[in-house]
């Protein structure tokens, strides 16, 4: 990743709370907002038990292939070991309440293929992709592994459309990995419903108007969802905060495309 150093003038403008060149003016301050500051939230998405989709592939499709191969008197290759973090996705979100950067990293490459007609060979993906999406100054730019792959205009927000959902229902204080949050109570109507997809945890950052998405709505910082889509393979989808910090003024401007390109 190519890093840029702020010019003294830009740092001075930011320190005075004025927008950087090409950046829209910050929204009016609200309680809990940090005017002119950018914050970075890192979350980790994974399942419990881990790698559930690959486990299903191993225990269903691969197992069926082995049975067919034995009927044909053919030898089979063992299923490759699955790294514990194979299906994990790390998401980094940076925002100043106006512009946003979302960085996603996960395992990618050609889709794994199972040789049903031969030796049941199965190859796991071996590369990780890094996708950066920047929403800034009316443009949305997508950067894949250091190269710009898409740029589009962001349509103006409808004049009378609401921005920023209320977080008044998030009343339970919780801290995970040093990140302070407010969560929905277990008795909230969307929680613990025993449905096929059952929300068990849903939390936002404890201060309003700090960690928000492009529409001004609060970002979900922590979530646990029980899935019973595969009755024999129930699992919990977890999105856990790893860290939350303020971007310092001497760091590269995260909203510039050149910060993320090679």
pLDDT digits (tens, 9 = 90+) for 226-253: 999 888 999 999 999 999 999 998 999 9
* Angstrom distance (rounded) from CA 3 to CA 251: 8
Most confident of 10-14, 23-27, 204-208, 214-218: 204-208
Residue 22 has pLDDT above 60, yes or no: no
Per-residue pLDDT band at 26 (split at 50, 70, 90) = very low
Which secondary-structure segment (H or E) carries 108?
strand 100-108
Average pLDDT value for residue range 176-189: 96
Average pLDDT value for residue range 108-122: 82
Q: What is the pLDDT of residue 6?
A: 33
Q: What is the pLDDT of residue 34?
A: 59
Contact of 257 with 149, CB cutoff 8 Å:
no
124: closest CA among 93, 92, 163, 81? 81
Q: What is the pLDDT of residue 162?
A: 81
Least confident of 1-5, 89-93, 200-204, 224-228: 1-5
- Name the residue with higher pLDDT: 32 or 61: 61
Ramachandran angles phi, psi of 143, nearest 5°:
-120, 120
Q: What is the pLDDT of residue 196?
A: 93
Least confident of 82-96, 126-140, 157-171: 157-171
Residues sharing a CB contact under 8 Å with residue 254, sequence separation 6 or more, in sequence order? 38, 40, 94, 101, 247
Handedness of CA 203, 208, 210, 214 (dihedral sign): positive
Average pLDDT value for residue range 212-219: 90
Ramachandran angles phi, psi of 227, nearest 5°:
-115, 130
Average pLDDT value for residue range 12-27: 39
Per-residue pLDDT band at 20 (split at 50, 70, 90) = very low
Q: What is the pLDDT of residue 32?
A: 47
pLDDT, mean over the chain: 86
Which letter does DSSP use for residue 70 in this model?
H
Q: What is the pLDDT of residue 35?
A: 66
Contact of 262 with 147, CB cutoff 8 Å:
yes
């Amino acid at each position: 990743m190519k890093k840029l150093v702020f010019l003294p003038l830009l740092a001075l403008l930011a320190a005075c709370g004025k927008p950087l060149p090409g950046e829209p003016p910050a929204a009016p301050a609200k309680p809990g907002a940090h005017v002119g500051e950018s914050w970075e939230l890192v979350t980790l998405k994974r399942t419990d038990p881990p790698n559930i989709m690959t486990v299903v592939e191993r225990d269903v499709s691969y197992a069926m292939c082995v049975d067919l191969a034995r009927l044909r008197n053919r030898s089979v290759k063992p299923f490759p070991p699955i790294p514990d973090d194979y299906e994990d996705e790390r998401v980094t979100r940076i925002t100043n309440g106006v512009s946003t950067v979302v960085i996603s990293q996960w395992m990618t490459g050609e889709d794994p293929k199972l040789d049903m007609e031969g030796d049941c060979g199965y190859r796991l993906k071996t590369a990780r992709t890094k996708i950066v999406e920047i929403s800034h100054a009316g443009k949305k730019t997508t950067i894949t592994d250091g190269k710009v792959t898409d740029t589009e205009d962001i349509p103006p927000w409808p004049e009378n459309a609401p921005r920023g959902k209320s977080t008044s229902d998030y009343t339970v204080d919780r801290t995970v990995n040093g990140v302070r949050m407010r969560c929905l109570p277990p008795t909230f109507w969307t929680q613990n419903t025993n449905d096929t997809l059952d929300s068990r945890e849903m939390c936002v950052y404890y201060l309003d108007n700090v960690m928000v998405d492009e529409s001004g709505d609060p970002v979900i910082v922590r979530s646990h969802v029980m899935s019973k889509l595969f009755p024999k393979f129930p699992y919990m989808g977890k999105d856990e905060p790893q860290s939350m910090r303020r971007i310092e003024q001497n760091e590269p401007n995260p909203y510039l495309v050149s910060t993320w390109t090679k």
